[in-house]
Amino acid sequence: MQFPIFDRSAIDIHSHFNHGVPGDHINPRFVGTSKNTLDFLKTEYDRFEIKEAAFSSYAAVLSSDYIKEENVYLNDLTKENDWLYQWAVLHPRQDDTFDQVEEMLDDPKVLGIKIHPYFHEYGIVEYADKIFSFANERNAVVLMHPDAMEEMARFADKYPNMKLIIAHLSEEAHINAIRDAKHGNIYTDTSGSLSACNNVIEYGCEQVGSEKILFGTDTYSLTFQYSRIALARISHSEMENILYKNAIKMFPRAFK
């Protein structure tokens, strides 16, 4: 088998990093078998000639206590590092994060809004109108850790100017949500460990089309995540869609 050649480097739209602050320490993978510092991740991206990756810090998503300062910390880093892009983390019970995210959405290095109902300890259905109406008014993209996926199509229908990426393609519920959204504004990404399932990428392409699937690592091994797409049983053009074309289309201000 030949490793395919692509015209452009891949874009990782979903990753995280640790930088040694208290919120990082509840990350169970902050151990020797898994390294999540930006320096380490950068050496990995360099090996694969990946020049663009979008992050939220672990401290911002694993805890509710550091969101605003972590958003600022990462935003400053994106200004010093061409390759770094950002998801601005929003917490529905912290109104000041809405003001902060609103301002950050003007920044071309900010791809959109990141929400993590599980670690931020809320149910998305309770706060969906608050978050998604905010996103809808700003034509924003929301990257959501999966929660109540069977409810998401009706919210996506109600807020058609929002694009919703339900992360970690792995379940039939992802497929159904994408398919049921009347305006086609639900997507998914390949990030997470469950892309190791032996037919998940192929099944996703077959069921909803590669146009709905974006490439992400979630800090899992880039060797694995990249090869999982580049050596998948899908066509070369489907690989291109997943690895970079869909991201260029969704974030034209950020990527060319």
Residues in contact with Zn ion by CB under 5 A are: 218
Question: Pick from 116, 165, 119: which is nearest to 142 by CA?
Answer: 165
| Residue 19: CB minimum distance to Zn ion, A | 16
The values of phi and psi at residue 23, to 5°, are: -60, -25
CA 240 – CA 5 distance, rounded (Å): 10
Least Å from the CB of residue 128 to Zn ion: 19
**In this complex, which beta carbon is closest to Zn ion, that of residue 218 or of residue 240?**
218
Q: Which residues contact 110 (CB under 8 A, 6 or more apart)?
A: 75, 78, 85, 86, 87, 88, 104
Residue 54 Cβ vs Zn ion, minimum distance, rounded to whole Å: 11
Residue whose entry in the numeric block shows the structure tokens 């792995």: 170
User: Shortest approach of Zn ion to residue 218 CB, angstroms?
Assistant: 5
To Zn ion, the closest distance from the beta carbon of 171 in angstroms equals 16
Output 16 or 212, the one with its CB closest to Zn ion. 16
- The answer to whether the CB of 186 falls within 8 A of the CB of 236 is no
Of 217 and 246, which CB lies nearer to Zn ion in the complex structure? 217
How far is CA 73 from its chain centroid?
19
Tokens at residue 204, please?
């996703």
Question: Can you tell me whether residue 247 is helix, strand or coil?
Answer: helix
Residue closer to Zn ion by CB (options 5, 31) is 31
Place of tokens 């290095």: 109
Query: By Cβ distance, which residue is nearest to Zn ion?
Result: 218
Query: Which lies closer to Zn ion via its Cβ, residue 113 or residue 234?
Result: 113
Are 239 and 231 contacting, i.e. CB atoms less than 8 angstroms apart? no
- Cβ proximity of 58 and 16 under 8 Å: yes
Nearest approach, Cβ of residue 166 and Zn ion (Å): 12
Which residue number, 87 or 251, has a Cβ lying nearer to Zn ion?
87
